[in-house]
Structure 1
Amino acid sequence: MKHRQVSMAGWVLCVTLVLAALTGAQGQTYQNFLQRHVDNPRTNLAGQRYCNIMMARRGMTRPVCKPLNTFVHAPGMTVARACTWPPNAQGYYTTPNRLSVTICRLRGGNTRPPCNYRAAQQWQHYVEVACQAGLPVHLQNTFP
């Protein structure tokens, strides 16, 4: 009986972990993607000020500072066109055209607020995303 209780407890833990992983993956939505990654037209702020304000405005500085985030300066549906192309070997989709992006990187190693970011404006980058139901839900990478 004791062996059966241990097995049952292990099985419940395993199922709980699988459900938590699936819930996390399903928690990614197009609306969350837009909130975290799309700024079109680009908010009129310069360099570091852009990143510091936009990261706070979009909720990525509390309770800790997000170390890295990319803002795409194109309509969400322009980015969504990537989801109509075949995925790469890793399962990600790439925009058919290059887009303007701003990459915000946290300065220093401290992830506790106040957050201080460095900005890098890239004018012509492809955007690589994960898609669900034909819409982007996760920005994986950008590249020239």
Structure 2
Amino acid sequence: VWGFKGKTTTKKNDVGSYFNSLGVKLGEASKELEEVAKKAETGIDKNDSSKNLIKEAVEVTKKVLATLKGHLESLGQVGDSNLVGDAATDDKGVTAGTDALKGAFKALKGIIDIAEGAGVAKPKAGSTAVKLSNADNKDGAK
């Protein structure tokens, strides 16, 4: 996802750190955009309308980046020092933390919504079936 490559040695907090680093990069990009807007307003004799267009475009972009950064920071709270595939117990019927899953879902959905608004094609649902022992996920992983 977004350039992250998980391995058998990847820890859950490595995933969180990766998303945090993306958030930091978005913050830096936002600052650089502000500098671009400032440079566009100086040195060259431009009319007020062109200055405003550049500034408006930068402000809209900064808002989008701030929203994305917030979603990434939410995803950055993922995990502990256990491996990604490590389960606390092998008991059947054990559920994941509902609040954590809802938070991750909300963040990922927010990122997808922003991407769709920018014209990126909506991701397609997978059809990989998951089977563990005799439990079968008929709908597949989505």
TM (normalized to structure 2)? Answer: 0.28
Q: Which has the larger radius of gyration?
A: 2
User: Bigger relative contact order, structure 1 or 2, given CA contacts below 8 A and separation 6+?
Assistant: 2
Pick the structure with more helix per residue. Answer: 2
